[in-house]
Amino acid sequence: MKISGSVALVTGANRGLGRHFAEQLLARGAAKVYATARDPQRIDVPGVHRLRLDITDPHQVAAAAEAAGDVTLLVNNAGISTGSNLVTGDLELIRQEMETHYYGTLGVVRAFAPALGRNGGGAILNVLSALSWFSYDGANAYGAAKAAAWSLTNGVRIELAAQGTLVTGLHLGAADTDMSRDYDGPKTDPADVVRAALDGVESGLLEVVADEWSAQVKASLAGDPGQFYATA
């Protein structure tokens, strides 16, 4: 998958990682970048094609797929973080996390998969999280939804292999974006995360682990979970 000459679509491109994806795709020579958001007027990246897209709205997803039928690279970046736990949290907020990260992402994949197949296969990049692999008090709804999105990514990769579509999952810890503004710990430069992700797509990687923290979390999965949570 070559970025230069590709036609890309980025969800949630009005801020954070999504904005960096749109900028870097253009800088790498993408022929066209569709930048989407619930309010496209908030997208301020020069040179992109703005589209309205709430990924939880099936009608808007279908309309975006029809408008952008030339896509060869789909970046599923749109997401939310409600700060909800599972036992005591607002059930509607928990559902909102799952509707966005799981059902929303799946809806976009399903809508664009036929176009990717027609256009030679192309690639899908799903923005996941280190929280796909561990739980954190205060963000357990987010972690559960990202874990589901990780499984989704692995599943659609197998299903789309026959049409030649690369499916890459991106895992990261905290990036210095609006979504993590209340987080006090170390944060990765979002430009570095996006650069690593796009390098991974061009290299045909199935998974990009963008920072040391995510690598440590992934490595812990083979061990006793009690040891990880005792030291996390």
Q: Would you give the end-to-end CA distance of the chain in angstroms?
A: 36
Q: What is the mean pLDDT of the chain?
A: 94
CA–CA gap between residue 164 and residue 128 (Å, rounded) = 22
Residues 123 and 167 sit within 8 Å (Cβ to Cβ): yes
> Is the pLDDT at 184 greater than 90, yes or no?
no
The Cα-based distances of 149 to 9, 23, 46, 127, 176 in angstroms read: 19, 25, 31, 9, 22
CA–CA gap between residue 3 and residue 205 (Å, rounded) = 14
pLDDT tens per residue across span 155-182:
999 999 999 999 999 999 866 665 655 6
pLDDT at 232: 75
Sort strands 49-52 and 73-76 into parallel, antiparallel or unpaired: unpaired
Query: Mean per-residue pLDDT for 55-62?
Result: 98
pLDDT tens per residue across span 30-41:
999 999 999 999
Domain range summary for the chain, segments of one domain joined by +: 7-231
Q: Name the pLDDT band for 202 (thresholds 50, 70, 90).
A: very high
pLDDT at 98: 98
Task: List the beta strands (DSSP E) in the chain.
Answer: 7-10, 32-37, 49-52, 73-76, 123-127, 166-171, 207-209
| CATH superfamily, domain at 7-231 | NAD(P)-binding Rossmann-like Domain (3.40.50.720)
Residues 38 and 53 sit within 8 Å (Cβ to Cβ): yes
pLDDT at 218: 95
Query: Mean per-residue pLDDT for 195-211?
Result: 97
More confident of the two residues 53 and 229: 53
pTM over 0.75: yes
Residues 126 and 169 sit within 8 Å (Cβ to Cβ): yes
- Other C-beta atoms within 10 Å of 48: how many? 24
Say how far residue 185 (Cα) sits from the centre of its chain: 22
Partnered with residue 75 across adjacent β-strands are: 10, 125
Length of the chain: 232
Partnered with residue 116 across adjacent β-strands are: none
pLDDT at 43: 97
CA–CA gap between residue 138 and residue 51 (Å, rounded) = 33
Q: How much helix, strand and coil, in percent to the nearest 5, is found in the chain? A: 50, 15, 35
pLDDT at 60: 98
Determine the Cα angle at 106 with ends 146 and 119, to 5°.
125
